[in-house]
Copies of this chain bind each other. A is one copy, B any other.
Amino acid sequence: MSGIAQKLASNQKQVAISEFFEKNKHFLGFDSLARSLITAVKEAVDNALDACEEARILPTIKIQITKLDPKKDIIKLVVEDNGPGIPQKSIEKVFGQLLFGSRFHAIRQSRGQQGIGITGVVMYCQLTTGRTTHVRSKIATEPTAAFVDIGLDTRKNKATKANAGREIWYNEDGSSKEHGTEVTAQMKAKYQKGRQSVWQYLRMTSIVNPHAEIIFVDPEGEKHHWSRVTERLPTKVESIKPHPHGIELGQLQRMIAESNDLNLNHFLLNNFSGVTNRARKELCQAAELEGTRKMKTIKGDDIRNLLEAFQGERLFKGQPAKLLKPPTNCLSPIEEILIKKGLSKTIDSRFVTTLTRVPNVTQGNPFQVEVGLIFGGTMAGDKPVEILRFANRVPLMYQQGGCLLTKAIESVDWRQYGLEQAGGKGVPKGPAAILVHLASTNVQFTSEAKEALADNGEVMEEARKAMLEMGRGLRKHLEKKKKMAKTKEKFELINDILPAIAEKSAQLLDRPVPELAGSITKIMSAVISESTTVWNKETKMVDVDIVLFNYTSRARAYTILATWPEKSGATMESNETGGRKEALGVWAWKLEALQPGERKNITYSLRGLERGDWTDTEVLFRGSQDVIGATKMDEKFLQEIRRQEQLELDNVADEAEANNDVEQLEATPLEPVSEQHIPEPVVTPPEGQRTLFGGEN
A residues bordering B, Cβ < 8 Å?
1-6, 8-9, 11-17, 19-20, 22-24, 26-27, 31-32, 51, 54-55, 72, 84-87, 90, 93-94, 97, 99-102, 104-106, 114-115, 126-130, 139-141, 154-155, 179, 248-251, 253-254, 300, 303-304, 313, 399, 401-402, 422, 444, 446-448, 452, 454-456
Contacts and interface: CB of A to CB of B under 8 A. Distances in A.
Given A15-B99, A26-B446, A104-B19, A5 B55 contact: yes
Nearest to A106: B11
B14 A97 contact: yes
Nearest to A129: B249
Nearest to A90: B9
B99 A16 contact: yes
Contacts of A454: 26, 31
A18 B51 CA distance: 26
A313 B74 CA distance: 14
A444 B26 CA distance: 8
B14 A140 contact: no
Nearest to A51: B8
Contacts of A55: 1, 4-5, 8
A39 to B, nearest CB: 13
Contact of A402 (B27, B31, B399): B399
10 contacts: A8-B102, A11-B106, A14-B97, A15-B105, A19-B104, A20-B114, A31-B454, A72-B313, A130-B304, A446-B447
B399 A86 contact: no
Contacts of A94: 12
Contact of A31 (B15, B54, B300, B444): B444
B93 A5 contact: no
A148 to B, nearest CB: 15
Nearest to A400: B402
Contacts of A97: 14
Contacts of A104: 15, 19-20, 23
Given A8-B51, A447-B448, 18 more contacts: A5-B87, A11-B106, A13-B100, A15-B104, A15-B114, A16-B99, A19-B104, A22-B251, A24-B114, A27-B447, A127-B249, A128-B248, A130-B250, A130-B303, A399-B446, A401-B401, A402-B402, A422-B422
Contacts of A54: 4, 8
Contacts of A4: 54-55, 84, 140
Contacts of A32: 455
A12 B113 CA distance: 11
Contact of A128 (B129, B249, B447): B249
> Which A-B residue pairs are the 3 nearest by beta carbons?
A402-B402, A127-B250, A447-B447
Contacts of A303: 130
Given A5-B139, A27-B448, A447-B27, A12 B313 contact: no
